[in-house]
């Protein structure tokens, strides 16, 4: 392994309205190494990568490749200097053929030689054992195959730097193994690979070095052998280790009253989002959670409970009485609230003010012909801004100009305002700052102690272990187990998720 | 930079950021321009028309009178734009249908009746119902079949005038009853043109609706983020449909005024290109044509700006056929000024200039 | 997913459909419907439709629409729209007519004039849409206003062009051998097409090849399919959008001249409603409004279907104007719904 720097990024700054996404970040990539870029959601990994690939312009800082400064203003520039990228969300054109997606935008000449292109694509697909035909329309491939095609494109570009931004989240084990073999081959050829992932095992399997980021700042760069897992986690989480202790103290062991009727009970519930029928129940004042890998169906389950996807079967009982939930409004009327997984797409109404966002759900419940008066709306807004200490210039500020954490608090306030009996929180801590994460977890426990039932979902297992007294474990869109009491520990949960034991 | 300077800058930039700024500024500029060219521009006189009724006359009255139709349509168009993120291009054709239905009900089978075959209110209600149905047709295509509004309404745009002709077997009924002419002219004893009164009534009605219902909040929420509003218990499809139905009501009202102005109908000419003016009014009002937040007042002012512009051009002997060219120039200037890219460029230029000044 | 395994199996009819690209699927539907319609007309409406000349006169009347629709298809494939082409057509006919008649100018220069007008509009609108990021609908709406207004400023009254060379060109007929018919009086009449049709066919072939076999053509599809992805794949999205509008402007120039050749006069009313007919033709031809899907061959059949149905309606005795309007709208409605249903169903599998 040579030790010369291939890519150097120095003192990179980038801000968005309301957020300082990157603050003076340095990053170095050497020839022929696989370099993990680690950090929690919202740490700034994706922003750093988008700056490197020219999707975002940087506010400050230098980027140099093989010792000479490069100016990258667009993804095209990045491709030209030899940086190719596979993004987390697939960025291919669904209406074009597989072969076109591999070659478009990077070959010279005016004319398109279909035969040559299809042959070339077929060769690449075969060499990487991707189960797709070159002439197939991309849309007709599964997501995993599409991801492999994106990787094939990047690999075929004779790049110097290959960026893989969470490419493995939709791949199965065999596909991951194939990808790793490919990465090692490229490494031998001297290509520098930046690998962003959430799976620690994968980092320790293929990577040589690790750069850790937190809250838009660089934490440090380490050789893999110098940084054991526990330390990596604590570096990623930062000060949070102390706060964890706090929460642990507050958690009271939940005791089920004998013979109590569950607040909500579902049997054989199934929706059109592709989950297997599942049973579920939650008691008064209980905090439980759905856990499983990304895409295991945990969000789809709670969406089915809330009626967000089309429910195709099953029965739901509330406090013992059967109810019918066909659409979100039905659920809301029955005292269920749902904070959705994707804040930007499903949560905030970007251009509307904090006040309007806050009162929206309660207003819908109240009815079309009964708008809140200005005074009432302001009262609610002021009350909850204070209660959840939401940082906003005023209640009139459009919610999109708030930081992620504060946006999430507004959405949370929206649902608290409806005084639900049962609150579903789907990834409430994703992409927000550490302080707010702790606030939200504390709030969940407080609400539960006041008698609210809460379902809490998080990608971060320790958050769930801290807050939930019962975990429903999911794998492959199916409920595979339920853990409580002494079973609630990292190992047991991991094992159940992986399906190692029953 | 000194504190006073930033303060000044703030006030100015706040003023510019106000949505009403552009339409009001345009209105003001046009009025001042007209006043310079003709000091009597704002003068209103009370006279008597040929049948001895008191009427107000003057340029301003004429603008307010003729601008009524576009103003009324702008109300519905604003809602459609906000909810669906697109525009309805079939309103002109729909006005033809509404007018034709109205005449059909009032005239019955006879094309030149001595007396009306039905009370005017019945005719209006029927035409209202028909217009709402056609609005609902557009709305269903947009909301449930997820067809872009402009293209969905292309269907009615193509068929509308034909349907209007078919309703009356391609004949041109004429109504001689004087009371029918009140809606497009003057009610005896009231010197204000009736279309203006109707327009104001519509504005008051929509004002009340916006105040006493959640129409504004729901429409904006659906227009900005459909999936999020769905998860908040709203029914985005229904709200889009509703906006098209409301536009249908506006269409029926405009149909009544248009037909009443002429006492008859010309299927291919009635309300021609009015959809473009209505969309323009919404755009002039600074409302995002991609949907979302809206200001009803700004759209209505936008409508009168268009009428003022038209009247001004007429005053300078611009032939009516050439009007679109001038309108186009105004539109292009406006959209270029309000384009985010251009605004960003401007503000970066100003920043550069300021930093240079400081240095 | 289960659907993945089925695709690799030897496929039946259903899988064949599923493996088809959206573009080809919609194209097949259009062509099938056109032939069913036309053959139906031949059977039920009789003599007129059995003569090949009926088909050729449909072509003659709509050659300019074919050219305009091609331009529309291209901008629609890149997920944009242009509603100014009808206005541009009117402006071109008027400018050319005035130039040829008043100044006694030469026909070739008038062609250049037509192309220049079209390109100027394409350039201007393309710049505003692609680089200033303004909504295409509003920009081209202004373009339409501008073109229509300018037309009347150039000249208000319609008039026929008497320029000899032009009239000679206008009346040039390309005889199609062997497809003529014998009139009741026993006279043999040759089947013919006009020069405009030849131009339109060349345009169709050239554009078909361009969309299929050039980088630029494929980039139109990529940008329309997903412009964010296209950007990530290294395509200059803004330039591609700009070029699409420029090309549409150029085609409006050609189409305008073809229209001028066909009608032989300058008039404000020339090409009125052409933009909507062109959009409708493109949709019927399988161009998706959501971008990224479409085919010039489909557009060609789209224009033919649209024009044929008009002809059929009027030949069937419903010759009053409103029937055509309603039928065309109904047809458009049908195709829009087919598109939305077909695509939604395909997505589900």
Is residue A467's pLDDT more than 70?
yes
Q: At A35, is the pLDDT very low, low, confident or very high (cuts 50, 70, 90)? A: very high
Q: How far apart are CA B337 and CA B341, in angstroms?
A: 9
**Could you say which of C149, C152, C321 has the minimum Cβ distance to residue B165?**
C321
Q: Is C196 left (phi over 0), alpha (psi -120 to 50) or beta?
A: alpha
B328:C143 CB<8 A: yes
Whole-model pTM? 0.81
Question: Which residues make Cβ contacts (< 8 Å) with residue A478, sequence separation at least 6?
Answer: A275, A276, A278, A297
- Give residue B3's pLDDT: 40
B151:C279 CB<8 A: yes
Question: What's the rounded mean pLDDT across residues A48-77?
Answer: 87
Q: What is the pLDDT of residues C140-191, one digit of tens each?
A: 988 998 999 999 889 888 888 888 888 888 888 888 887 777 777 778 878 8
A104:C219 CB<8 A: yes
Q: How far apart are CA B59 and CA B180, in angstroms?
A: 25
CA distance C81 to chain A (A): 19
Q: Tell whether B161 is within 8 A of chain C (Cβ).
A: yes
- If you ran DSSP here, which 8-state letter would residue C23 be given? H
Q: How far apart are CA A98 and CA B292, in angstroms?
A: 37
Give the percent of chain A with pLDDT over 70.
91
Cα separations in angstroms, A139 against A97, A296, A318, C89: 8, 22, 41, 39
Q: What is the pLDDT of residues A150-168, one digit of tens each?
A: 888 888 887 889 998 877 7
Q: At A259, is the pLDDT very low, low, confident or very high (cuts 50, 70, 90)? A: low
What tokens does B269 get?
Answer: 């000419």
Question: Which residues make Cβ contacts (< 8 Å) with residue B147, sequence separation at least 6?
Answer: B141, C289, C336, C340
Closest chain C CA to residue B164: C322
- Give residue B272's pLDDT: 82
Q: How far apart are CA A309 and CA A456, in angstroms?
A: 19
Q: Average pLDDT, whole number, for chain C?
A: 85
Please report the sign of the dihedral spanned by the C-alpha atoms of residue B137, residue B142, residue B146, residue B147: positive
- Residue B172, number of CB atoms within 10 A of its CB: 14
Chain C residues contacting B via beta carbons under 8 Å:
81, 128, 131-135, 137-139, 141-146, 148-150, 152-153, 156, 268, 276, 279-280, 283, 289-290, 320-326, 328-330, 332-333, 336-337, 340
How far is residue C339 CA from its own chain's centroid? 19
User: Residues of A479-500 as b/e, b for ≥16 C-beta within 10 angstroms?
Assistant: bbbebeeeebeeebbebbbeee
Cα separations in angstroms, B99 against A117, A290, B66, B126, B198: 60, 60, 17, 11, 16
What is the torsion angle, in degrees rounded to the nearest 10, for the CA atoms of residue C235, residue C241, residue C242 and residue C245?
150
Q: What is the pLDDT of residues C244-269, one digit of tens each?
A: 999 999 999 999 999 999 998 888 88
Q: Looking at C46-185, list the stretches that DSSP marks H as alpha helix, in order from N- to C-terminal side.
A: 47-50, 52-77, 85-102, 107-126, 136-154, 164-170
How far is residue A130 CA from its own chain's centroid? 26
User: What is the interface pTM, i.e. ipTM, of the complex?
Assistant: 0.82
Name which residue leads in pLDDT, C118 or B334: C118
Is residue A431's pLDDT more than 80?
no
Q: Are strands C188-194 and C173-182 parallel, antiparallel or unpaired?
A: antiparallel
CA distance B147 to chain C (A): 8
Interface list for B 288-317 with C (CB within 8 A)? 289-290
Q: How far apart are CA C305 and CA C308, in angstroms?
A: 5
Interface list for B 93-152 with C (CB within 8 A)? 141, 145-148, 150-152
- Residue B211, number of CB atoms within 10 A of its CB: 10
B217:A347 CB<8 A: no
- Give residue C205's pLDDT: 96
What is the torsion angle, in degrees rounded to the nearest 10, for the CA atoms of residue A68, residue A69, residue A75 and residue A78?
10
CA distance C186 to chain B (A): 39
Is residue C20's pLDDT more than 80?
no
At residue B252's C-alpha, the angle toward residues B251 and B257, to 5°, is: 95
Closest chain C CA to residue A133: C8
Which of chain A's residues have a Cβ under 8 Å away from the Cβ of C10?
none
Helix (H) or strand (E) holding B354: helix B340-358
Q: How far apart are CA B174 and CA B183, in angstroms?
A: 15
Q: What is the pLDDT of residues C307-326, one digit of tens each?
A: 988 888 887 776 666 777 78
A131:C8 CB<8 A: yes
The residue with tokens 């109590």 is A260
Question: What's the rounded mean pLDDT across residues C280-301?
Answer: 88
Give the percent of chain A with pLDDT over 90.
23
Query: Which one of C82, C142, C274, C347 makes the best mutation probe of the B interface by having the most chain B beta carbons within 10 Å?
Result: C142
Q: At C130, is the pLDDT very low, low, confident or very high (cuts 50, 70, 90)? A: very high
Q: Are B140 and B237 in contact (CB under 8 A)?
A: no
A112:C214 CB<8 A: yes
Phi first, then psi: give them for residue B301, nearest 5 degrees. -60, -40
Q: Are strands A422-426 and A453-457 parallel, antiparallel or unpaired?
A: parallel
DSSP one-letter string for B61-86: HHHHHHTHHHHHHHHHHHHHHHHHSS
Question: Which residues make Cβ contacts (< 8 Å) with residue B240, sequence separation at least 6?
Answer: B83, B84, B139, B142, B143, B222
A345:B228 CB<8 A: yes
> Which of the residue ranges A121-135, A346-360, B227-241 would you say has the lowest mean pLDDT?
A121-135
B162:C321 CB<8 A: yes
What tokens does A144 get?
Answer: 């995993």
Q: Tell whether A93 is within 8 A of chain C (Cβ).
A: yes
- Give residue A86's pLDDT: 87
Beta bridge pairs of residue A195: A36, A164
Q: Are A427 and A341 in contact (CB under 8 A)?
A: yes
- Give residue A502's pLDDT: 40
| B78: helix, strand or coil | helix
What tokens does C16 get?
Answer: 């064949």
pLDDT < 70 positions in chain B = 1-18, 356-359
B230:A361 CB<8 A: no
- Residue B58, number of CB atoms within 10 A of its CB: 16
Question: Which residues make Cβ contacts (< 8 Å) with residue A251, sequence separation at least 6?
Answer: A445, A466, A467, A469
Please report the sign of the dihedral spanned by the C-alpha atoms of residue B33, residue B35, residue B36, residue B38: positive
Q: Are A216 and A23 in contact (CB under 8 A)?
A: yes
Q: Name which of C74, C39, C50, C59 is nearest C241 in CA terms.
A: C74
C323:B162 CB<8 A: yes
Closest chain B CA to residue A415: B232
| A381: helix, strand or coil | helix
Closest chain C CA to residue B344: C132
**Could you say which of B148, B324, B335 has the minimum Cβ distance to residue C139?**
B335
Q: Are C60 and C197 in contact (CB under 8 A)?
A: yes
CA distance A220 to chain C (A): 29
Interface list for B 125-154 with A (CB within 8 A)? none
Beta bridge pairs of residue A9: A27, A63
- Give residue B71's pLDDT: 96
């Amino acid at each position: 392994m040579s030790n010369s720097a291939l890519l150097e990024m120095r003192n990179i700054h980038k801000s968005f309205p309301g957020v300082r996404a990157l603050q003076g970040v340095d990053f170095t990539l050497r020839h022929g190494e696989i370099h993990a870029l680690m950090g929690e959601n919202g740490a700034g990994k994706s922003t750093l990568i988008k700056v490197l690939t020219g999707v975002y312009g940087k506010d400050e800082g230098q980027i140099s490749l093989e010792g000479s400064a490069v100016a990258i203003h667009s993804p095209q520039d990045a491709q030209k200097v030899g940086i190719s990228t596979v993004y987390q969300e697939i960025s291919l054109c669904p209406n074009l053929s597989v072969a076109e997606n591999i070659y478009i935008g990077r070959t010279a000449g005016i004319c398109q030689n279909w035969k040559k292109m299809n042959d070339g694509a077929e060769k690449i697909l075969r060499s990487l054992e991707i189960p797709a035909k070159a002439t197939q329309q991309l849309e007709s491939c599964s997501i995993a195959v599409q991801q492999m095609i994106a990787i094939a494109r990047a690999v075929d570009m004779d790049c110097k730097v290959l960026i893989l931004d969470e490419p493995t989240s939709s791949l199965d084990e065999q596909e991951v193994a194939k990808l790793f073999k490919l990465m090692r081959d490229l490494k031998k050829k001297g290509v520098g690979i930046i690998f962003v992932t959430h799976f620690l095992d994968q980092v320790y399997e293929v990577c040589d070095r690790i750069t850790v980021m937190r809250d838009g700042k660089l934490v440090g760069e380490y050789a893999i052998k110098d940084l054991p897992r526990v330390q990596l986690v604590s570096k990623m989480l930062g000060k949070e280790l102390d706060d964890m202790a706090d929460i642990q103290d507050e958690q009271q062991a939940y005791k089920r009253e004998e013979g109590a009727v569950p607040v909500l009970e579902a049997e054989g519930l199934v929706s059109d989002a592709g989950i297997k029928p599942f049973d579920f129940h939650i008691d008064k004042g209980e905090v439980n959670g759905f856990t499983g890998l990304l895409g295991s169906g945990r969000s789809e389950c709670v969406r089915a409970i809330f009626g967000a996807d089309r429910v195709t079967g099953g029965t739901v009982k509330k406090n013992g009485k059967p109810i019918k939930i066909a659409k979100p409004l039905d659920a809301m009327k029955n005292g269920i609230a749902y904070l959705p997984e994707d804040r930007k797409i499903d949560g905030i109404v970007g251009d509307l003010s904090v006040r309007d966002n806050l009162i929206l759900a309660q207003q819908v419940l109240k009815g079309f012909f009964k708008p809140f008066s200005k005074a009432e709306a302001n009262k609610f807004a002021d009350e909850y801004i204070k209660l959840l200490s939401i940082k906003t210039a005023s209640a009139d500020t459009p919610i999109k100009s708030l930081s992620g954490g504060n946006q999430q608090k507004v959405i949370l306030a929206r649902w608290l305002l409806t005084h639900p009996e049962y609150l579903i929180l789907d990834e409430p801590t994703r992409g927000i700052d550490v302080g707010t994460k702790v606030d939200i977890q504390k709030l969940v426990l407080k609400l539960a102690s006041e008698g609210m039932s809460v379902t809490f979902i998080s990608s971060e297992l320790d958050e769930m272990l801290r807050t939930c007294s019962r975990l429903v474990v999911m794998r492959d869109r199916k409920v595979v187990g339920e853990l409580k009491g002494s079973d609630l520990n990292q190992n047991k949960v991991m094992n159940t998720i992986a399906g190692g034991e029953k | 930079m000194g504190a006073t300077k930033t303060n000044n800058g703030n006030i100015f930039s706040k003023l510019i950021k106000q949505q009403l700024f552009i339409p009001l500024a345009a209105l003001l500029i046009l009025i001042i321009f007209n006043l310079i060219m003709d000091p009597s521009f704002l003068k209103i006189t009370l006279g008597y028309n040929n049948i001895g009724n008191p009427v107000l006359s003057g340029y301003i009255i004429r603008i307010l009178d003729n601008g009524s139709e576009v103003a009324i349509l702008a109300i519905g168009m604003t809602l459609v734009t906000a909810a669906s993120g697109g525009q309805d291009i079939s309103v002109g054709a729909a006005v033809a249908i509404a007018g034709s239905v109205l005449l059909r009900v009032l005239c019955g089978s006879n094309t030149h009746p001595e007396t009306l075959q039905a009370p005017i209110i019945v005719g209006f209600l029927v035409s209202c119902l028909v217009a709402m149905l056609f609005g609902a047709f557009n709305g269903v295509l947009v909301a449930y079949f997820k067809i872009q509004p402009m293209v969905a309404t292309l269907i009615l745009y193509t068929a509308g005038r034909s349907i209007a002709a078919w309703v009356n077997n391609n004949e041109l009924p004429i109504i001689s009853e004087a009371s029918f002419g009140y809606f497009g002219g003057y009610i005896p004893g009231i010197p204000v043109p009736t279309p203006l009164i109707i327009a104001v009534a519509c504005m008051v009605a929509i004002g009340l609706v916006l105040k006493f219902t959640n129409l504004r909040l729901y429409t904006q929420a659906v227009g900005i983020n459909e999936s999020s509003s769905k998860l908040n218990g709203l029914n985005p499809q229904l709200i889009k449909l509703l906006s098209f139905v409301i536009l249908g009501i506006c269409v029926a009202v405009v149909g009544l005024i248009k037909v009443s102005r002429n006492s008859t109908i010309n299927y291919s000419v009635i309300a021609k290109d009015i959809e473009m003016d209505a969309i323009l009014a919404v755009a002039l009002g600074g409302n995002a044509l991609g949907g979302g937040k809206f200001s009803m007042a700004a759209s209505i002012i936008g409508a009168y700006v268009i009428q003022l512009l038209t009247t001004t051009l007429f005053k300078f002997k611009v032939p009516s056929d050439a009007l679109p060219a001038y309108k186009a120039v105004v539109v292009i200037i406006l959209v270029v000024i309000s384009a985010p890219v251009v605004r960003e460029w401007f503000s970066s230029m100003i920043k550069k200039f300021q930093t240079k000044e400081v240095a | 997913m289960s659907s993945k395994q089925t695709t690799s199996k030897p496929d039946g009819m259903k899988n064949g459909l599923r493996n088809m690209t959206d573009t080809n699927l919609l194209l097949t539907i259009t062509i099938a419907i056109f032939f069913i319609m036309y053959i139906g007309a031949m059977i039920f409406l009789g003599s007129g439709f059995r003569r090949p000349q009926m088909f050729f006169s449909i072509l003659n009347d709509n050659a300019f629409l074919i050219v305009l629709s091609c331009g529309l298809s291209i901008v629609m494939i890149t997920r944009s729209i242009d509603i100014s082409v009808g206005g541009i057509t009117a402006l071109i006919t008027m400018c050319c007519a005035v130039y040829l008649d008043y100044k006694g100018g030469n026909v070739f220069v008038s062609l250049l004039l037509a192309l220049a007008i079209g390109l100027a509009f394409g350039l201007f609108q393309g710049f505003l849409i692609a680089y200033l990021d303004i909504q295409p609908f509003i920009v081209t709406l202004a373009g339409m206003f501008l073109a229509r207004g300018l037309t009347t400023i150039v000249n208000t009254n319609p008039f026929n062009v008497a320029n000899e060379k032009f009239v000679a060109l206008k009346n040039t007929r390309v005889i199609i051998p062997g497809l003529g018919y014998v009139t009741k009086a026993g006279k043999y009449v040759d089947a013919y097409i006009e020069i405009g049709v030849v131009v339109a066919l060349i345009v169709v072939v050239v554009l078909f090849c361009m969309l299929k076999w050039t980088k630029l053509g494929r980039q139109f599809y990529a940008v329309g399919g997903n412009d964010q992805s296209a950007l990530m794949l290294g395509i200059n999205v803004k330039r591609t959008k700009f070029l699409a509008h420029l090309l549409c402007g150029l085609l409006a120039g050609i189409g305008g001249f073809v229209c001028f050749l066909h009608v032989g006069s300058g008039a404000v009313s020339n090409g009125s409603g052409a933009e909507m007919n062109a959009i409708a033709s493109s949709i019927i031809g399988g161009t998706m409004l959501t971008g990224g899907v479409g085919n010039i061959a489909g557009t060609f059949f789209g224009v033919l279907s649209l024009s044929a149905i008009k002809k059929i309606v009027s030949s069937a005795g419903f010759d009053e104007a409103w029937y055509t309007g309603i039928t065309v709208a109904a047809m458009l409605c049908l195709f829009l719904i087919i598109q939305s249903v077909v695509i939604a169903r395909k997505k589900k599998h």
